[in-house]
Structure 1
Amino acid sequence: MKKEFAVIGLGRFGGSICLTLAEQGIEVMGIDIDEDRVNEFSSIASHAVVGDTTDEKVLKSIGIRNFDHVIVAIGDDIQASILTTIMLKELGVKKVTVKAQNDYHEKVLVKIGADHVVHPERDMGRRIANNITSNSVLDYLELSDEHSIVEIVASRKIDGNSIIDLDVRAKYGINIVAIKRRDEIIVSPQANETIFENDILIVIGADVDINRFEKKVLS
């Protein structure tokens, strides 16, 4: 089943997450109290809604409990961020990721049940979006608008295959630059290197090619 995401707060941080999810063809609802921002994302998000998420009735009316993952990216209003997070957890949202303004804000968010807290100065929206949409992607480093280095967990589907068996460079246009295997790191692995389930593959390439590799070979 496809996961459904909601992003609350469509500023620079929340907007970048919403945009990246939409670009990947993922169902995402954008929510903001500012009508202009909502209008801006009406053609980007699957649904864009004007609403005050500190109001429990608003959250219930949009069926927020049905979303698998909600990202709270509210700007400078720490109180609104905290109240929204509390209500999301009380309403039974499975996973809530929240943007923290500072360390104190982060401590409060953790205490009230936020599943994951991020600092925008450390975690760019695009990186978060790529991490939350895949069970196999452990980390993501953006090199440019179109190219990235990604850590991907090898699935059972490719267990026992060598790099040459997978022919990743020819078929997908990407390169496996290293393999992490327990305490060992294999840098510039040879073509005959065997990949085992749960190996961490460090892959470099264009985003579209990495996504293609992940979906066809690892899912």
Structure 2
Amino acid sequence: MKGNQYAVIGLGRFGSSLAKELVKLGYEVLGVDINEEAVEEMSQTLTHVVVADSTDEEVLKSLGVRNFDCAVVAIGDDIQSSILTAILLKDLGVKSVVAKALSDLHGKVLEKIGVDRIIFPERDMGIRVAHQLVSPNLLDYIDLSEKYTIAELAVPKRLTGCSLKEIDPRAKYGCSVVAINKKKGVIIAPTAVDTVEERDVMVVIGTREQIDQFEHAVIR
């Protein structure tokens, strides 16, 4: 097991999926839910599981959550419990508190109480799918900040054999290719002489506008 320890509070679809992946990555995970069936379902998967009310400060203290590197509030549809749990985790001194938001207003409240990272899984997935529907060569993208995005773009057949110097996304569109994923492996920080082939995947960083321009002008 790796050093970091995570507590995932709320073992619904999002929380259980997150917790399972953290375990798969080699981390210790405590799963907490008020629903006994949800806890029982994860009992053979996570490091520890507990049936508990996360809005009870004494319960959180007894679980030792303040000793965890990160606590994720993944409570499904009870906004009040989500907010109260996040407040208690911050008050108890958990190093990093991450919370799932069900709406923009919920997210604003979580931000006001000092949650370190707010996740909008349904909204973000909807946005991602919409981009993929209108841009078939856009495989995936992640917003790094309000300004910058990193995207994976599939190389079309007509660019086979072209070098990055010929494509020149930085000079023409302001975005940069930071990696090329090829069948034989990944080229990190490719140079101007590196070439691409059909079905290679270019990892591009830039503003969303720059990447959109590059994708529309070159990739489509």
What's the counterpart of residue 13 of structure 1?
14
Contact 2:30/2:46 (<8 A) preserved: yes
Deviation at 1:174, TM superposition (A): 3.0
Looking at structure 2, the residues matched to 188 and 108 of structure 1 have their Cα atoms a distance apart, in angstroms, of 49
Aligned equivalent of 2:159: none
Q: CA deviation at 1:24?
A: 1.5
The share of aligned pairs that are identical, in percent, is: 51
What is the CA–CA distance in structure 2 between the aligned matches of 1:90 and 1:32, rounded to whole Å?
20
- Give the paired residue count: 150
- Deviating above 6 A after TM superposition, structure 1's stretches of 4 or more consecutive aligned residues are 138-141
Q: Deviations over 1:32-85 (max 9, x none)?
A: 000000001011110011100000011001000000001100011000000000
Query: Which residue of the partner structure matches residue 29 of structure 1?
Result: 30
Deviation digits for residues 175-202 of structure 1 (CA, Å, limit 9, x no counterpart): 23x638xxxxx68836xxxxxxxxxx94
Aligned residues of 2:9 and 2:33 also touching (Cα < 8 A): yes
> Structure 1 length as normaliser, TM-score?
0.60
Cα root mean square deviation, aligned: 3.3
1:140 and 1:25 map into 2 onto residues whose CA distance is 27
Alignment of 1:110 onto 2:115: no
Structure 2 gaps of 5+ residues are: 126-141, 143-148, 153-178, 196-201, 205-220
Which residue is equivalent to 1:179? 189
Give the Cα separation in 1 of the matches to 2:120 and 2:150. 16
Q: 1:85 to 1:11 in 2, by over 3 A?
A: same
- Say whether the 8 Å CA contact 2:83–2:110 is kept in structure 1: yes
TM-score by length of 2: 0.60
Q: Residue type of the partner of 1:48? A: V
Give me the whole-angstrom Cα distance separating, in 1, the residues matched to 2:54 and 2:30: 13
Aligned residue number for residue 61 of structure 1: 62
Aligned ranges 1:98-177 → 2 under 5 Å? 98-123=99-124, 174-176=185-187
Q: Partner of 1:189 in structure 2? A: 194
Q: Is the CA contact (8 Å cut-off) linking 1:179 and 1:202 kept in structure 2?
A: no
Structure 1 partner of 2:132: none
**Greater Rg, structure 1 or structure 2?**
2
